[in-house]
Amino acid sequence: MKLPEYIAGNVPLAPLTAFRAGGAARYLARPAREEDVAATLAFARARSLPVLVLGGGSNLLVADGGVEAVVVALSDAGEFGRIDRSGDGDWRVGAAVSLPALVAATVREGRAGLAPLAGIPGRVGGAVAMNAGGGAGGASMGDVVREAAAYAPDGGRRVFAPAFGYRRSDLGGMIALSFTLRFPGADAPERLAEAARGFRERKAAAQPLGAPSAGCVFKNPDGDSAGRLLDAAGCKGLTEGGARVSERHANFIVSDGTASAGDIARLAARMRERVRDRFGVALEREIVLWGDGDGFDALR
């Protein structure tokens, strides 16, 4: 059967993820219009395949065997790539807009709130779904999100105010299309630019931003830092195949370009074990796992 032009079969996902690891998607859909998202959900239902949503792939580990699913990566070529300003000061932002581009636009236009997220990769949809955050004060994406427009897997469209927690939201399993953002106030673009530069520089000094990774592997336990615990447990420099615990930040696994998803998952499991043995703390995973792979069970 001929596929719609925005759906392809057996597409390698590694190039679409920050780890640059993992297998292929049974189907990859890149819809640029809402009606094509609805049609993609019907396509998946007709084949009894689950739907998975891909943003920038910067918080994701895909199993080496790939996923028997329809992966939806919203295209930024149309409405999902737009930022619209409304008269009342709210912005309507498509889920496929790049997070750094959104942060830069808010800085340029004197909108406060997102400067602490400078330097975080990904798309707005993924950053909202993960409630990505940064900076010393713990600012996060959810702070500025008023409403989301999203499809549920059954095809129902909803507009609602998402709930957020530390590195989590209730968008899981949905396909968010766009968001209404409200900023806490205005500030001088020069001041915001200076603040963003500071956050970016501190991040680059503390984290290995040049190598393939997915950011922090584990969430911080209450009142502590997973990076500090992993470091104190002697994890820096541990390796599995092409995967290594960063010498710069112990909560980052970096790939030398050859790491398999199995290497990464096995290394993450060893890191967690070390912290449990040494400190009795069970670290909770932050990175999202897709598929079933070697080493994945121990990490779930």
Residues at the site binding ligand FAD, with contacts judged by CB under 6 A: 18, 52-60, 74, 95, 99, 120-123, 125-127, 129-130, 132-134, 171, 174-176, 209, 213-215, 288
Least distance to ligand EPU from the beta carbon of 235, Å?
8
Rank residues 134 and 293 by Cβ distance to ligand FAD and give the closer one. 134
Name the binder of 219 from ligand EPU, ligand FAD, none, CB < 5-8 A by kind: ligand EPU
Name the binder of 14 from ligand EPU, ligand FAD, none, CB < 5-8 A by kind: none
**What is the per-residue DSSP string for 192-258?**
HHHHHHHHHHHHHHHS-TTS---SBSBPPPTTS-HHHHHHHTT-TT-EETTEEE-SS-TTBEEE-S-
Cα separation, 163 vs 56, whole angstroms: 22
Strands 157-160 and 145-151: antiparallel
Name the binder of 228 from ligand EPU, ligand FAD, none, CB < 5-8 A by kind: ligand EPU
Name the binder of 299 from ligand EPU, ligand FAD, none, CB < 5-8 A by kind: none
Rank residues 25 and 129 by Cβ distance to ligand FAD and give the closer one. 129
Least distance to ligand EPU from the beta carbon of 195, Å?
13
Rank residues 27 and 199 by Cβ distance to ligand EPU and give the closer one. 199
- The tokens of 282 are what? 């069970």
Name the binder of 56 from ligand FAD, ligand EPU, none, CB < 5-8 A by kind: ligand FAD
**What is the per-residue DSSP string for 58-72?**
TTEEE-TT-EEEEEE
Rank residues 69 and 217 by Cβ distance to ligand EPU and give the closer one. 217
CA distances (Å), 260 to each of 63, 209, 213, in order? 8, 19, 12
Rank residues 83 and 288 by Cβ distance to ligand FAD and give the closer one. 288
Name the binder of 186 from ligand FAD, ligand EPU, none, CB < 5-8 A by kind: none
Name the binder of 260 from ligand FAD, ligand EPU, none, CB < 5-8 A by kind: none
Name the binder of 174 from ligand EPU, ligand FAD, none, CB < 5-8 A by kind: ligand FAD
Rank residues 200 and 274 by Cβ distance to ligand FAD and give the closer one. 200
Rank residues 7 and 124 by Cβ distance to ligand EPU and give the closer one. 124
Q: Which letter, b or e, does each residue of 265-293 get, where b requires 16 or more Cβ atoms within 10 Å of its Cβ?
A: bbbbbbbbebbeeeeeeebebbbbbbbeb
Strands 164-165 and 168-169: antiparallel
CA-CA-CA-CA torsion sign (35, 55, 289, 29): positive
Q: At what angle do helices 99-108 and 189-206 cross, to 10 degrees?
A: 150
Q: Which residues bind ligand EPU (CB under 6 A)?
A: 134-135, 203, 206, 215-216, 219-220, 225-228, 231, 249-251, 286
Cα–Cα nearest to 80, from 100, 92, 57, 97: 97
Least distance to ligand EPU from the beta carbon of 122, Å?
10
How far from chain centre, in Å, is Cα 66?
18
Rank residues 125 and 262 by Cβ distance to ligand FAD and give the closer one. 125
